[in-house]
């Protein structure tokens, strides 16, 4: 298939996933932030500064200490902020438009219709209503998109790139969340436990965690769960595995593919570390950093192997 | 905001001169800013969300039809200042500790009986006194793992205990769902208050059950036992099982072999070490209690007696939440703990005393009469509100079995402003049920379920009879915020690389940089 189309599909997946995860994070943190500090270590807490850190340095607030209203608006509905939910959805729609012939009509309809109700759903973000309506709107429409994709789209290269993008973004976002929420030292600290829990609740994994583990949620336990647990679909290991599987399908020679080989190695490493038993604070953080940089390298590999030729050609054409 | 206050009633938001109390000023200002229209809109959204999530209860209308209605959460929260909450919490913990002592005592040494404080005939005649529990001491000696005492405020605003629930108190799921709903419906109300969170309840309950289980902590399999989907509190049973991540079982899932309790799983029998049961003693084991019960597990009491399974709450705790025993709780506190009660009872008359019986019946239209063994407000007659014929029937019933009734002074419950159908506010009567968990220590999540009578002047707060509920806010204060500084300074987020945006031109530029090409 065309490299340009593959690239658009990959980023359609990434933008859709990013919009959803950002919305979920806003919801989880907003609810925890409205209330006072929990008097129990198992309570939920995450500051808006941490959320901005997760979203990268481009999302920094104007004032020193970011406020709730400011951050929520910045990350949800601010069209000028490239990392806002609205901007991600906008890019997803533009991407979908350029591959309208490849994706199914229902998928296009799902992503195109997001824009229609978005303005109404966003009213509460700045008013008294809070982000709830906006967040649940985004969650249900992105779920609709992935749902019709899984039912109506041919399982060909195109689907593989779309799927790879969506899962790649989950892995990346969850890693970012963990790197911010994990304790810097090996010690157990209540605020960090709370942050980890807030994130877990935000990505919708709290119930899964409780079913999988009898231990009380601590930052380390949650991080172990979100990193290594293959049976949990939003864990880093499960997401990377899905990306690898998708690329393997799309690649005519997967055994010679840098990104596939790299991801396979990362997975083996993750499985090995997961087998070694629980790790705390610093070690987990180190794993997150290693996997994070491997993912960034895989991102470059993917661009190089699958999208590279056309990009270079386009650049050369413009340069000429 | 217009609010007419009846005389002789304590309003928790407004002083008698109509000014808001200091701790409620910000809330009142925010409600005024929102206005009736916003409240009506938020109410519509609330009903939609609750119907979608299935947070409902069955309402039987006058013509007998049963309808599924969204749980009526009132949008004005109830505020309890920090200092007030601390004294309530201490009072409740004291009371629950004494009740636990009492349950242990009546099934073992009966010291309180021998000391002449509580008559044995009274204890033994209670409908929930369980002979099967005699001599059984559950693991770690805790009987009342989960307790919910109903509190009311009288016309002076002082808190009184109206009744104790130490069998299977319900309502915790509504309390937790109310909070989540409030943060979604009107988050701006929270803006000027530091409200203490409550979502740790399931984790606390889980920890208490693990602690009570008679096996090593890591191996404890805990289950929630429900009578089934037909039970009116089924929503709560599923809620708690989900929140704790444990199995929700029915009787047919459990089996006892050689005095050990198991559940039937796809991979054979799995040992169960703690059961949070949500049904009464009478139904749990047909070998010991009602032989015709289909809800029970044969042999469970044997397993319990052998110390192989913890049951929460323990068998026989019903004797402590009997309404006649209630009268003796202050005496229990003095007897077992050598302390003065921190929370008072409502003035109550024991009717098996002939003098008190006659005095109470002569004021039958001024008092509240309650059957002792019931819960959930069934059989309660409020004298001033009852018709003459009902009172005549009541007098006959009480004279026939005086020991099965108590009489209490009417408490003019305190009021809190409540949203009417048109979005305006009016004072309505409320009570409070805080939830305590007795594990390694007694923990009480801040607040509780506030129930509110939605009819003007009504004192009936039960949801089955037209009552609603409110989110209950316990405020944080300086003393609670000692740990605040740790949160603020401990946090310095690492800086992560920017998120990539993946535009085709961005892609092209990146490729150029990597290949060392000049920028276009």
Q: What is the pLDDT of residue A208?
A: 82
CA distance B125 to B325: 11
**Mean of the per-residue pLDDT values for chain B?**
86
**By CA distance, what is B246's nearest residue in A?**
A211
* Interface contact B487-A209, CB threshold 8 A: no
Identify which of A4, A42, A176 has the shortest CB distance to residue B504. Answer: A4
Q: Does B499 touch chain A (CB under 8 A)?
A: yes
- Contact residues on chain B for A210, CB-CB shorter than 8 A: 242-245
* Interface contact B242-A207, CB threshold 8 A: yes
| pLDDT, tens digit (0-9, with 9 covering 90-100), for B476-493 | 875 544 444 444 444 566
Instruction: Give the largest Cα separation in chain A, rounded.
Output: 65
- Which of the residues in chain B have pLDDT under 70? 1-6, 58-64, 216-218, 375-377, 464, 478-493, 503-520
Residue B390: count other Cβ atoms within 10 Å of its Cβ.
13
Distance from CA of A35 to the nearest CA of B (A): 5
Whole-model pTM? 0.85
Q: What is the pLDDT of residue A313?
A: 57
Q: Which one of B77, B185, B188, B199 would you mutate to disrupt binding with A, by most A Cβ within 10 Å of its Cβ?
A: B199
| pLDDT, tens digit (0-9, with 9 covering 90-100), for B414-450 | 999 999 989 999 999 999 999 999 999 999 999 999 9
Identify which of B179, B493, B515 has the shortest CB distance to residue A49. Answer: B493
CA distance B488 to B491: 6
Q: Which one of B507, B517, B520 would you mutate to disrupt binding with A, by most A Cβ within 10 Å of its Cβ?
A: B507
Q: What is the pLDDT of residue A108?
A: 94
**By CA distance, what is A172's nearest residue in B?**
B499
| pLDDT, tens digit (0-9, with 9 covering 90-100), for A5-63 | 999 999 999 999 999 999 988 888 887 777 766 554 444 456 777 788 888 755 555 55
Quote the DSSP letter at residue B322.
-
Distance from CA of A62 to the nearest CA of B (A): 16
* Interface contact B495-A53, CB threshold 8 A: yes
Are the CB atoms for B514 and A311 separated by under 8 Å? Answer: no
CA distance B303 to B214: 11
- Contact residues on chain B for A7, CB-CB shorter than 8 A: 502, 504, 507
Distance from CA of A183 to the nearest CA of B (A): 9
* Interface contact B187-A30, CB threshold 8 A: yes
Write the DSSP assignment of B264-321 as a string of letters: EETTEEEE--EEEE-S-GGGT-TTTS-TT-SS--TTHHHHHHTTS-EEESPTTGGGGG
Distance from CA of B205 to the nearest CA of A (A): 11
Q: Which one of A128, A168, A204 would you mutate to disrupt binding with B, by most B Cβ within 10 Å of its Cβ?
A: A128
- Contact residues on chain A for B475, CB-CB shorter than 8 A: 36
Q: What is the pLDDT of residue B332?
A: 96
Q: What is the pLDDT of residue B28?
A: 94
| CB-count burial class (<10 Å; 0-12, 13-18, 19+) for A297 | middle
| pLDDT, tens digit (0-9, with 9 covering 90-100), for A258-273 | 999 999 999 999 998 8
Q: Are strands B254-257 and B146-153 parallel, antiparallel or unpaired?
A: unpaired
Across the range A127-151, mean pLDDT stands at 89
Q: Does B493 touch chain A (CB under 8 A)?
A: yes
Are the CB atoms for B461 and B430 separated by under 8 Å? Answer: yes
Q: What was the ipTM of the complex prediction? A: 0.78
Q: What is the pLDDT of residue A26?
A: 87
Distance from CA of B166 to the nearest CA of A (A): 24
Q: What is the pLDDT of residue B418?
A: 94
């Amino acid at each position: 298939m065309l490299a340009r189309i593959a690239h658009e599909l990959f980023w359609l997946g990434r933008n859709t996933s990013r919009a959803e995860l950002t919305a979920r994070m806003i919801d989880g943190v907003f609810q925890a932030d409205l209330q006072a500090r929990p008097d129990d270590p198992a309570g939920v807490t995450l500051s808006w500064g941490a959320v901005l850190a997760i979203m990268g340095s481009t999302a920094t607030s104007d004032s020193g200490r970011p406020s709730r209203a400011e951050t929520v608006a910045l990350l949800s509905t601010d069209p000028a902020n490239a990392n806002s939910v609205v901007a991600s959805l906008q890019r997803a729609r533009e991407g979908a438009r350029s591959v309208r012939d490849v994706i199914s009509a229902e998928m296009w309809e799902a992503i195109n219709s997001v824009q229609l109700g978005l303005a109404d759903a966003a009213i509460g973000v700045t008013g008294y209503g809070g982000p709830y309506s906006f967040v649940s709107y985004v969650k249900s429409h992105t779920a609709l998109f992935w749902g019709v994709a899984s039912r109506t789209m041919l399982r060909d290269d195109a689907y593989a790139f779309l799927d790879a993008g969506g899962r790649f973004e989950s892995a990346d976002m969850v890693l970012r969340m963990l790197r911010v929420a994990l304790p810097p030292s090996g010690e157990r600290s209540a605020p960090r436990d709370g942050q980890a829990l807030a994130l877990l609740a935000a990505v919708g994994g709290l119930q899964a965690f409780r079913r999988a583990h009898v231990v009380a949620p601590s930052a380390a336990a949650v991080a172990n769960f979100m990193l290594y647990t293959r049976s949990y679909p939003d864990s880093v290991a499960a997401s990377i595995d899905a990306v690898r599987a998708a690329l393997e399908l799309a690649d005519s020679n997967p055994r010679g593919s840098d990104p596939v080989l790299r991801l396979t190695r990362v997975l083996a490493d993750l499985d090995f570390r997961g087998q070694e038993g629980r790790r705390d604070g610093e070690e987990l953080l180190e794993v997150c950093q290693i996997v994070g940089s491997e993912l960034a390298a895989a991102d470059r590999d993917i661009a190089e192997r699958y999208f590279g030729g056309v990009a270079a050609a386009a650049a050369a054409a413009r340069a000429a | 905001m217009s609010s007419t206050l009846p005389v002789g009633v304590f309003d928790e938001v407004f002083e008698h001169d109509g000014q808001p109390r200091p701790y409620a000023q910000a809330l009142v200002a925010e409600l005024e800013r929102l206005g009736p229209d916003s409240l009506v809109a938020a109410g519509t959204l609330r009903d939609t969300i609750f119907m979608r999530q299935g947070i409902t209860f069955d309402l039987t209308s006058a013509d007998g039809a049963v309808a599924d209605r969204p749980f009526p959460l009132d949008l004005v929260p109830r505020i309890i200042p920090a200092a007030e909450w601390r004294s309530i919490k201490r009072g409740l913990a004291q009371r629950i500790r004494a009740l636990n002592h009492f349950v242990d005592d009546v099934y073992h040494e009966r010291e309180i009986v021998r000391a002449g404080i509580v008559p044995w005939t009274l204890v033994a005649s209670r409908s929930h006194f369980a002979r099967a529990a005699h001599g059984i001491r559950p693991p770690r000696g805790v009987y009342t793992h989960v307790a919910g005492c109903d509190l009311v405020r009288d016309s002076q605003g002082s808190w009184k205990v109206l009744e104790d629930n130490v069998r299977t108190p319900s309502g915790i799921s509504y309390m937790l769902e109310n909070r989540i709903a409030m943060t979604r419906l009107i988050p701006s109300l929270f803006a000027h208050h530091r409200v203490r969170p409550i979502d740790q309840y399931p984790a606390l309950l889980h920890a208490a059950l693990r602690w009570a289980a008679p096996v090593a902590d890591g191996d404890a399999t805990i289950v929630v036992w429900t009578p089934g989907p037909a039970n009116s509190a089924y929503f709560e049973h599923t809620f708690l099982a989900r929140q704790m991540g444990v199995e929700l079982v029915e009787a047919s899932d459990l089996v006892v072999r050689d005095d050990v309790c198991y559940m039937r799983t796809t991979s054979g029998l799995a040992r169960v070490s703690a059961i949070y049961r949500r049904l009464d003693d009478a139904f749990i084991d047909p070998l010991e209690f009602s032989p015709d019960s289909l809800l029970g597990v044969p042999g469970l009491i044997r397993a319990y007696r052998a110390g192989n399974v913890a049951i929460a709450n323990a068998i026989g705790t019903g004797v402590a939440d009997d309404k006649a025993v209630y009268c003796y709780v202050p005496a229990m506190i003095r007897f077992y703990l050598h302390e003065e009660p921190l929370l008072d009872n409502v003035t109550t008359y024991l009717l098996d005393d002939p003098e008190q019986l006659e005095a109470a019946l002569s004021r039958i239209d001024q008092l509240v009469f309650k059957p002792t063994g019931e819960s959930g407000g069934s059989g309660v007659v409020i004298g001033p509100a009852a018709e003459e014929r009902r009172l005549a029937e009541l007098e006959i019933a009480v004279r026939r079995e005086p020991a099965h009734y108590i009489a209490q002074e009417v408490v003019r419950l305190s009021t809190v402003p409540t949203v009417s159908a048109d979005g305006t506010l009016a004072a309505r009567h409320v009570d409070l049920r805080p939830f305590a968990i007795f594990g390694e220590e007694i923990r009480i999540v801040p607040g509780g379920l506030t129930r509110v009578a939605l009819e003007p002047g009504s004192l009936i707060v039960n949801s089955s009879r037209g009552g609603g509920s409110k989110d209950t806010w316990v405020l944080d204060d300086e003393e609670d915020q000692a740990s605040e500084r740790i949160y603020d300074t401990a946090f310095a987020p690492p800086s992560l690389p920017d998120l990539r945006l993946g535009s085709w031109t961005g892609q092209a530029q990146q490729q150029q940089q990597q290949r060392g090409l000049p920028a276009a």
